[in-house]
């Protein structure tokens, strides 16, 4: 009896040991602990029945963009039956985070559109394959303002040219009897604030210019200037300051012009009361304001035409951003890259080159307004321009020519991440320290001066 | 003589069986706790960013943490502040609710379920719901305040109010403490209560002199668990505030996540993890050391 008990307990013990090691083995797969994005993680399987190669392509975007990218992937498969592209969607706010984790686990996708802030750092870590010969021998190269450069040499090219513009709700403007913002001539900052005041209404119907206006009970706001951190650089440039010197060798964010530009945006909320409070922590500037219907004007990227403004039930227009001193906008755009950990670099490079050609992303991305073309000829040649903007997805032709085409061609400057490394961490710290500026508890000048050393240390890579 | 020999052998067999059954837990303890801890300590003494070979740098990460890092020193203060508010708040709240739920009230089972429910809800759903309550422009709390004629508050968007606001959510979520306190309350021998009533004690005196002392082991357990859990808080920061205005809700675990996954600086994050482990260890030791003075064990001194 005792021997029986001993045998049973030994078997039981051994079973437990083996089951633990079995499930312990599969635990080695999990590496990331942040909320998982939808769709599958990048898998690199090779089908055993035929020679179909699977390459994974990562990107960010709304479900509409997901459908567009899937169309592109399907079209590539039709033209190249031996290759299937599996698309992986990762939210923009966590894009570099997820890629960092995948890089440490050696599980990066084969290729993808890279978040702009992480490009130069990934390049310096050797995670990006060399794409310098992508446009060798081509008749047209992308605009210089959207070329990523390390030490002056091109490292990647943006897949799309995106600028910041001003959207406005035409119905709310008509109701208040205020003239529309111009798409060919930028308003001055004071004109912008006054227009916003006329469109900020309290619960009694008074606007912000009238006596008896109640700032505690506002039902409609005049404007939102998005303070999602990287977009603040445009105001520094407009005010005659720069976050970094033109050669990218020094950080000049603590100059008075930069501090003043940020303070003016904060004052819209706390002094002028024309902007609803935003903490600057999320990438939903247009969706949560003008698309929600209770804000009359909103700054945002050109991609919103295709991602959220296509579904609104009011008439909207597009205009140039207001200017503080100079009329500028900033251009950005994720570059298509091939990751050096890929097991199928040639197929991935081929897909990327195919994707970068405007004809191949035309219907799903360029004609819907999500992407803007990267080759100069689309901005200078009228026939090509019309083929791009003359469709039902875009607002009126003249508005688009003024606020999208000419604005991008003549007034766009590169965002800092095209020529400065470590921008991901820099912007993260800037976002943290500016928190008190948006609530009105600190001035931009004091915050930038206090934190300049920490910001500079990140810029220098310490 | 025969009997003694048999008992000794039986004893040895039983010990062997016990060790065999313990093998899975020991393996788990070694491979899932001690080895990772040693690995984290080892990694924290190197410089490694996810690719390539770790490079030995000694204590440079720790020095950098306490001197030039813009987040870490603030994060220690914020985490300790949050833990105190959340732990004290949830202990008082759950003890009070447990006392009320111990009485004979109608639909007692329903109320017990209702107060336990927040603990089992998915965390993200809870935080997103509360973020709409706390929303600075159009949230429900601000609407109620404006109806009462009080100035709107920014709650999680203001650096003074964010930690108390998040602690309030943590208090609401403390269903597990209520259940354990209820069990502890039901363990208080009824004879003590009856004896106290006979001696003329009112409700409050009975609570202070009978219930509380009998509950002290349970209170100690809950305090320890709540402290350890709340010092590792990270979900509100991830879901709601991303570190909050400035550094005012930047918890230690959030800084660790930021450096490890957002910036890819894994070895630096390991240094933060190890300091966090030591910090929680210090608080646990303090709690254990002072426990002898106030815990009453019914079985007498051990």
Per-window interface: B 277-296 vs A, CB < 8 A: none
Query: How far is Cα A185 from Cα A320, in angstroms, rounded to an integer?
Result: 7
pLDDT at B300: 54
* Residue B86: alpha-carbon gap to chain centroid: 9
CB-CB contact of A190 with A244 (8 Å): no
Say whether A217 and B50 touch across the interface (CB within 8 A). no
Average pLDDT over residues A339-363: 84
Two tokens, residue B133 = 């309550």
A171 pLDDT above the threshold of 60 = yes
The whole-number average pLDDT for the span B45-51 is 87
- The CATH architecture assigned to B70-294 reads Orthogonal Bundle (1.10)
Q: Comparing C-alpha atoms, which of A416, A84, A123 is closest to residue A131?
A: A123
* CA quadruple B94, B100, B105, B106: dihedral, nearest 10: -30
Closest to A358 in 3D by CA, of A119, A161, A111: A161
pLDDT bucket at A364, cuts 50 / 70 / 90? confident
* Closest by CA position to B78, among listed B278, B244, B260: B244
Chain A touched by B100 (CB under 8 Å): no
Percent of chain A as helix, strand, coil, to the nearest 5: 45, 15, 40
pLDDT, tens digit (0-9, with 9 covering 90-100), for B80-118: 999 999 999 999 999 999 999 998 889 999 999 999 999
Cβ within 8 Å, pair B158-A457: no
pLDDT greater than 70 at residue B206: yes
With residue A452 as reference, give the H or E element that holds it.
Answer: helix A444-460
Mean predicted lDDT score pLDDT of chain A: 84
A245 vs A63, more confident: A245
A59 phi, psi to nearest 5 deg: -160, 170
- Interface contact flag, B28 A20, Cβ < 8 Å: yes
Token pair listed for B44: 């924290």
Which pLDDT belongs to residue B302? 47
Least confident of A172-181, A361-370, B57-66, B226-235: A361-370
Confidence (pLDDT) at A50: 59
| Nearest residue of B to residue A93, measured between CA atoms | B262
CA distance A222 to chain B (A): 14
DSSP assignment, residue A46? Answer: B
Q: What is the value of pTM for the model shown?
A: 0.79
> Out of A6, A16, A439, whose CB is closest to B154?
A439
Asked if A127 is an interface residue toward chain B (Cβ–Cβ < 8 A), one would say yes
Q: How confident is the model at residue B294 (pLDDT cuts 50, 70, 90)?
A: confident
Decide if A439 touches B, using CB distance below 8 A: yes
For residue B268, what pLDDT is reported? Answer: 93
Q: According to the model, what pLDDT value does residue A30 have? A: 36
User: How many angstroms separate the Cα of A134 from the Cα of each of A127, A156, A266, A384, B287?
Assistant: 17, 9, 43, 23, 63
Is B159's CB within 8 Å of A454's CB?
Answer: no
Indicate the domain borders of chain B. Answer: 70-294
Residue B218 confidence (pLDDT) above 60: yes
Residue B199 tokens, joined: 């001696």
Of B31, B49, B246, the CB nearest to A435: B246
> What's the CA gap between A193 and B209, in Å, rounded?
66
| Residue A395 CB partners (closer than 8 Å, separation 6+) | A305, A316, A317, A318
**Residue B51 scores a pLDDT above 50:** yes
Search chain B and give the residue with CA nearest A23. Answer: B28
* Residue A56 near residue A86, CB atoms below 8 Å: yes
A35 with B124: Cβ contact below 8 A: yes
The strand pair at A329-332 and A412-414 is best described as: parallel
> What is d(CA B228, CA B284) in angstroms, rounded to the nearest whole number?
8
Please judge whether B24 and A457 are an interchain contact, meaning their C-beta atoms are less than 8 angstroms apart.
no
> In the prediction, which pLDDT does A269 show?
92
Structural domains of chain A ordered from first start: 53-161+333-403 (3.40.190.10), 163-332+422-460 (3.40.190.10)
Tokens of B242: 């991303």
CB atoms within 10 A of CB A305: 25
Q: Do B152 and A216 touch (CB under 8 A)?
A: yes
SS3 A425: helix
Q: What is the pLDDT at residue B301?
A: 52
Among candidates A284, A370, A355, A345, which has minimal Cα distance to A87? A355
Cα–Cα nearest to A183, from A435, A454, A399: A399
Alpha helices by DSSP H, A202-344: 233-238, 256-270, 304-307
- Decide if A7 touches B, using CB distance below 8 A: no
Rounded Cα distance between B251 and B256, Å, is 9
Residue of B nearest to A121 (CA): B263
A interface mutation test: which of B26, B147, B246, B251 has the most A CBs within 10 A? B246
Phi, psi of A150 (to 5 degrees): -115, 120
Write the residue in B32, B159, B241 that is nearest to A441 by C-beta: B159
Q: Which residues, including other chains, have CB under 8 Å from residue A210's CB and lie 6 or more apart?
A: none
**CA pair distance B111, B107, nearest whole angstrom:** 6
pLDDT for residue A31: 36
pLDDT at A234 over 80: yes
Which structure tokens are listed for A56?
A: 């994974």
Contact residues, A window 13-52, toward B, CB-based 8 Å cutoff? 13-14, 16-17, 20-21, 24, 32-35
Coil, helix or strand at residue B246: coil
Residue of B nearest to A431 (CA): B246
A438 touches chain B (CB under 8 A): yes
On whether ipTM exceeds 0.90, the answer is no
More confident residue, A103 or A1: A103
A450 interfaces chain B, CB cutoff of 8 Å: no
Inform me whether the pLDDT recorded for A41 exceeds 80: no
**Helix, strand, coil percentages for chain B (3-state, nearest 5):** 75, 0, 25
Stretch 44-73 of chain B: residues touching chain A, C-beta under 8 Å? 49-52, 68, 70-71
Which residue in this structure is represented by tokens 């320890």?
B224
Element (H, E) at B203: helix B203-206
Of the listed ranges A47-56, A103-112, A329-338, B272-281, the least confidently predicted one is: A47-56
Is the Cβ pair A279, B248 closer than 8 Å? no
Mean pLDDT of chain B: 89
The pLDDT tens digits for B126-167 are: 998 998 899 887 889 998 998 888 888 888 888 889 999 999
Query: Closest chain B residue to A429 measured between Cα atoms?
Result: B70
Q: What is the pLDDT of residue B29?
A: 94
Minimal CA separation from A276 to chain B, in Å? 7
Q: Are A206 and A219 in contact (CB under 8 A)?
A: no
pLDDT in tens, A68-125: 888 888 888 998 888 999 999 988 878 888 888 888 888 899 999 888 888 888 888 8
The pLDDT assigned to A228 comes to: 92
Nearest to A342 by CA among A21, A44, A9: A44
Please give the Cα distance from A122 to B264 (Å, whole number). Answer: 10
Please indicate whether, in this complex, the C-beta atoms of A96 and B248 are within 8 angstroms of each other: no
Please check whether residue A405 is in contact with residue A386, taking contact to mean a CB–CB distance below 8 angstroms. Answer: no
Q: Which of B24, B28, B138 is the mutation pick for testing A, counting most A CBs within 10 A?
A: B24
Integer Cα distance of A169 and A345 in angstroms: 46
Backbone angles phi, psi at A355, to 5 degrees: -65, -35
- The span from the CA of A46 to the CA of A68, in Å, is 25
- Nearest to residue A258, comparing CAs of A455, A461, A460? A455
Q: Identify any residues that bridge with A329 across adjacent strands, giving them in sequence order.
A: A412
Q: Is the pLDDT of residue A16 over 90?
A: no
């Amino acid at each position: 009896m005792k021997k029986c008990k001993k045998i049973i307990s030994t078997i039981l013990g051994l079973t437990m040991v083996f089951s633990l090691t079995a499930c312990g083995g599969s635990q080695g797969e999990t590496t990331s602990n942040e909320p998982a994005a939808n769709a599958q993680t990048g898998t690199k399987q090779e089908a055993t029945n035929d020679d179909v190669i699977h390459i994974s392509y990562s990107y960010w975007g709304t479900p509409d963009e997901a459908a567009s990218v899937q169309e592109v992937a399907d079209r590539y498969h039709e033209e190249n039956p031996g290759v299937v592209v599996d698309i992986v969607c990762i939210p923009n706010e966590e894009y570099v985070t997820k890629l960092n984790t995948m890089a440490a686990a050696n599980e990066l996708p084969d290729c993808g559109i890279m978040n702009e802030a992480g490009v130069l750092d990934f390049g310096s870590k050797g995670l990006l394959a060399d794409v310098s010969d992508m446009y060798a021998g081509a008749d047209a190269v992308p605009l210089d303002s959207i070329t990523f450069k390390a030490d002056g040499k091109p490292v990647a090219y943006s897949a799309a040219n995106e600028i910041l513009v001003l959207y406005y709700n035409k119905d709310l403007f008509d109701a208040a009897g205020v003239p529309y913002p111009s798409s060919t001539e930028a308003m001055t900052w004071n004109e912008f604030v006054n227009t916003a005041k006329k469109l900020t209404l309290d619960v009694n119907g008074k606007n912000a210019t009238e006596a008896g206006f109640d700032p505690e009970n506002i039902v409609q706001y005049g404007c939102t200037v998005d303070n999602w951190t990287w977009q603040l650089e445009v105001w520094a440039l407009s005010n005659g300051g720069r976050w970094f010197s033109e050669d990218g060798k020094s950080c000049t964010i603590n100059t008075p012009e930069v501090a003043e530009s940020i303070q003016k945006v904060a004052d819209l909320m706390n002094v002028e009361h024309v902007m609803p409070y935003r903490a600057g922590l999320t990438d939903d500037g247009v969706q949560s304001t003008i698309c929600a219907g209770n804000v009359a004007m909103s700054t945002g990227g050109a991609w919103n035409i295709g991602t959220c403004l296509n579904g609104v039930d009011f008439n909207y227009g597009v205009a140039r951003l207001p200017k503080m001193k100079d009329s500028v906008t900033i251009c950005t755009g994720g570059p298509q890259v091939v990751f050096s950990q890929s097991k199928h670099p040639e197929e991935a490079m081929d897909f990327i080159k195919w994707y970068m050609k405007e004809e191949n992303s035309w219907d799903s991305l360029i004609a819907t307004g999500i992407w803007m073309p990267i080759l100069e000829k689309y901005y200078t040649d009228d026939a090509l321009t019309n083929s791009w903007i003359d469709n039902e997805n875009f607002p009126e032709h003249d508005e688009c020519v003024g606020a999208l085409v000419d604005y991008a061609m003549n007034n766009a400057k590169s965002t800092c991440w095209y020529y400065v490394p470590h921008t991901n961490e820099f912007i993260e710290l800037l976002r943290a320290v500016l928190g008190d500026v948006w609530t009105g508890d600190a001035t931009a000048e004091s915050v930038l001066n206090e934190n300049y050393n920490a910001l500079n240390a990140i810029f220098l890579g310490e | 003589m025969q009997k003694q020999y048999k008992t000794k052998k039986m004893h040895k067999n039983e010990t062997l069986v016990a060790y065999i059954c313990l093998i899975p837990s020991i393996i788990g303890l070694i491979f899932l706790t001690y080895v990772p801890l040693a690995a984290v300590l080892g990694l924290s003494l190197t410089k490694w960013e996810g690719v390539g070979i770790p490079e030995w740098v000694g204590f440079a990460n720790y020095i950098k943490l306490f001197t030039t890092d813009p987040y870490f020193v603030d994060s220690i203060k914020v985490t300790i502040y949050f833990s105190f508010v959340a732990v004290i708040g949830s202990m008082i709240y759950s003890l009070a609710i447990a006392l009320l739920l111990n009485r004979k009230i109608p639909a007692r089972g329903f109320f017990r379920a209702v107060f336990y429910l927040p603990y089992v809800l998915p965390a993200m759903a809870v935080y997103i719901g509360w973020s709409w309550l706390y929303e600075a422009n159009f949230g429900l709390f601000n609407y109620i305040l404006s109806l009462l004629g009080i100035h709107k508050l920014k709650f999680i968007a203001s650096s003074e109010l964010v930690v108390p606001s998040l602690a309030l959510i943590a208090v609401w979520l403390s269903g597990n403490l209520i259940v354990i306190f209820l069990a502890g309350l039901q363990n208080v021998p009824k004879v003590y209560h009856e004896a106290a009533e006979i001696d003329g004690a009112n409700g409050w005196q009975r609570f202070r002199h009978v219930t509380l002392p009998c509950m002290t082991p349970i209170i100690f357990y809950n305090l320890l668990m709540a402290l350890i859990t709340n010092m590792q808080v990270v979900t509100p920061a991830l879901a709601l505030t991303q570190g909050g205005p400035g550094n005012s809700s930047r918890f230690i675990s959030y800084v660790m996540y930021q450096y490890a996954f957002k910036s890819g600086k894994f070895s630096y994050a390991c240094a933060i993890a190890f300091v966090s482990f030591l910090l929680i260890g210090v608080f646990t030791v303090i709690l254990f050391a002072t426990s002898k003075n106030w815990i009453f064990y019914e079985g007498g001194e051990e």
